[in-house]
Amino acid sequence: ASASGGGSGAESAAGGGRHRHRHQDPASASAAVTMGNIFGNLLKSLIGKKEMRILMVGLDAAGKTTILYKLKLGEIVTTIPTIGFNVETVEYKNISFTVWDVGGQDKIRPLWRHYFQNTQGLIFVVDSNDRERVNEAREELMRMLAEDELRDAVLLVFANKQDLPNAMNAAEITDKLGLHSLRHRNWYIQATCATSGDGLYEGLDWLANQLKNKK
């Protein structure tokens, strides 16, 4: 996933040294913290003390790590169960967010199943600007949804990178991913821009309410 600058204005500012704080945008920094606080409180109030796992997956460079940083729910821990398979995890209260890249290597797929247990929510992140790989994204999504342990998981799709001029809109992504064919799955698609945070809260608000109803 595309971790752009680690999510902090100071880290991504050009030049470093004396001038770097000038490059920070206090409004966006406080907005990001506020989003984390709001989403954290939302989860806490809706979910209570139930152990829960939320998977966030998608092709590489879809923007998953950027979203994880934007949520500011806690420290992101990266583990490498095997070569070519990085897993990022954030533990928030009794909820774990687990993130990895899908696509490509068949030999690591069996390892994914270790993370499917107790998964109530699946977030699938799509690069809306990448028309060449949207079919691959669809194939990966359908393969995951076919997993028995994910049969009851609700699906939130983030149609990410909406800030790019040639990005497909949410309706086009819905069509390309074949979401309307999911007859027995609760799903929702949200247009997002991970770098600014646009759309993230709206999607996560839907997800939290779905998880509340699954209690």
> Binding site for Mg(2+), residues?
65, 82
Residues involved in catalysis: 105
Contact assessment for residue 153 and residue 122, using Cβ atoms and an 8 Å cutoff: yes
Nearest to 158 by CA among 112, 132, 111, 121: 121
Binding residues: 58-65, 82, 104, 160-163
Interatomic CA distance for residues 187 and 210, integer angstroms: 10
Q: For residue 67, what is the enclosing H or E element? A: helix 64-71
Name residue 100's beta-bridge partners. Answer: 57
Instruction: List for the chain the helix, strand, coil content (%; round to 5).
Output: 45, 25, 30
**Sheet with 95-101: strands ordered across:** 77-82, 85-92, 95-101, 52-58, 119-127, 154-160, 187-191
Instruction: Specify the residue for token string 């533990």.
Output: 91
